[in-house]
Amino acid sequence: MFNLMKTAILMAAITALFMAIGSMLGGQTGMLIALVVALGMNFFSYWFSDKLVLKMYNAQEVDERSAPQFYRMVKELAERAQLPMPRVYLIQEDAPNAFATGRNPEHAAVAATTGIIRVLSERELRGVMAHELAHVKHRDILISTVSATMAGAISMLANFAMFFSPRDSEGRPANPIVGLLVAILAPIAASLIQMAISRAREFEADRGGAEISGDPHALASALDKIHRYAQGIPLETTERHPETAQMMIMNPLSGGGLRGLFSTHPPTEERIARLQAMAGPR
C-alpha cells in the first residue's frame, strides 16, 4: 500500500511539473495541453512502462526450452518466495547486471544480462535473482519502473521547452530565461525523481533476497564480483538512458560527479557488510 501511495504522489508531482512548465511557456492553453500530456504519460507509465524498459534493453524472453537452467532457477526461487512465476528475460550485454520490472507480482518480469550469467557462479546468480524477486515481493517494482519512464519524460520536456518555446516577431525566444531555467532545472528534477527511490529499497531487497535464497554469503559475493566487473564494462543502454540505472542491482553508470551524488544505490561495501552480518560467521 505504501508503494502504491508513493507511485500516486510521484505521478501527481509530474503532472504538476508538466502543468507549471506548460503555463510558463503557453499560458492557460499551454497548461491545459501539458495536463493532457501528463495524464497520457501517467496512463502509459502505469500500464506499459515495463514493456518500454524491456524493449529499450532489447531483452529477449526465454523459457524452459531456450534457457532451461536459468529459467528453472527463477522458478524454484519464485516458489520459495511464494510468488507467481514472473516472465524471464535475457539481455545480450557483457556488463553484469539484472533488474525486475512490472506493475505487480502478477505482472512481473525479471531480466539478467548474459554477462552476469557468465561471471557469477550458480550460487551467486541464485542470490542475485532472489534479490530481484524480493523487489517483486515487496511490490516496489512499479515505483521503480514508473520513475525511470517519468525521468525520461522530464528530459524530453526540457528539450521541448528549449526548441518550441514561444517566439517574438523576429523569431527570437519570447522568454529565453524560462527556457534556460527549464533546461537547468529539468535534469535536476529527473535526478530528484530517481532519489525518490529510497536507498533503503536496495537494503530491503538484499535482506529479502538472502532470505529467499537462504544464502546471504552468496549474494554478498555476487555484489562484490559485480561491483568489480561492472567498473570496467559499461552497460551501453544505461549510459544512453541513465534514468533506468536505479532499476539495476548495481549502478552501472560510469563516472562520478552528480551521478554519484544522486545515486539511488547504497555503497556496495555497506551492502556486503550487512549481508555478512545477517549470515553470521561461516
Residues 165-179: tens digit of each pLDDT: 555 555 555 566 666
Strands 60-62 and 87-91: antiparallel
Q: What is the mean pLDDT of residues 181-209?
A: 73
Residues 87-121: tens digit of each pLDDT: 999 999 999 999 999 989 999 999 999 999 999 99
pLDDT of residue 46: 78
- Domain 66-139+198-279 falls in which CATH fold? Zincin-like (3.30.2010)
Q: For residues 91 and 114, is the Cβ–Cβ distance under 8 A? A: yes
User: Please, which residues have CB within 8 angstroms of residue 98's CB and are 6 or more apart in sequence?
Assistant: 110, 111, 112, 113, 116, 128, 129, 131, 132, 248, 249
Residue set of the binding site for Zn(2+): 131, 135, 202
pLDDT of residue 141: 84
pLDDT of residue 20: 73
Strands 98-102 and 60-62: unpaired
pLDDT of residue 200: 73
For residue 52, which amino acid is it? Answer: L
Residues 16-48: tens digit of each pLDDT: 777 777 776 667 887 787 788 777 877 887 788
User: Please, which residues have CB within 8 angstroms of residue 13's CB and are 6 or more apart in sequence?
Assistant: none
Residue set of the binding site: 131, 135, 202
Query: Angle of helix 200-213 relative to helix 122-137, nearest 10 degrees?
Result: 120
- Please compute Rg for the chain using Cα positions: 20
Min mean pLDDT across 74-78, 123-127, 275-279 is at 275-279
Residue reference for cell 502543468 = 19
pLDDT of residue 158: 64
In the chain, % helix, strand, coil (3-state, to 5) comes to 70, 10, 25
For residue 56, which amino acid is it? Answer: M
Q: What is the mean pLDDT of the chain?
A: 82
pLDDT of residue 257: 46
Determine the Cα–Cα distance for residues 6 and 179; give it in Å rounded to an integer: 30
Min mean pLDDT across 70-84, 182-196, 217-231, 240-254 is at 182-196
Q: Catalytic annotation on 239?
A: no
What's the whole-model pTM score? 0.80
The residue ranges of DSSP E strands in the chain, in sequence order, are: 60-62, 87-91, 98-102, 108-113
Grid cell of 58 as nine digits: 532489447
Reference 123, options 212, 230, 226, 222; nearest CA is 222
Q: For residues 125 and 117, is the Cβ–Cβ distance under 8 A? A: yes
DSSP state of 244: G
Q: Which of 93, 124, 132, 243 is catalytic?
A: 132
pLDDT above 70 as % of the chain: 73
User: Which residue has better confidence, 262 or 132?
Assistant: 132
pLDDT of residue 55: 95
Determine the Cα–Cα distance for residues 21 and 30; give it in Å rounded to an integer: 8
Q: For residues 138 and 207, is the Cβ–Cβ distance under 8 A? A: no
pLDDT of residue 101: 94
User: Which residue has better confidence, 194 or 152?
Assistant: 152
Which of helix, strand or coil describes residue 102?
strand
Query: Quick check: 272 pLDDT over 80?
Result: yes
DSSP state of 241: -
Every domain of the chain with CATH number 3.30.2010.10 lies at 66-139+198-279
Query: Quick check: 236 pLDDT over 60?
Result: yes
Q: pLDDT band at 258, cuts 50/70/90? A: very low
Q: What is the mean pLDDT of residues 171-199?
A: 62
Q: What is the mean pLDDT of residues 75-83?
A: 98
Buried-exposed string 107-145: b where 16+ CB fall within 10 A, e elsewhere: bbbbbbbbbbbebbeeebbbbbbbbbbbbbbbbbbbbbb
Q: For residues 108 and 140, is the Cβ–Cβ distance under 8 A? A: no
Q: pLDDT band at 2, cuts 50/70/90? A: low
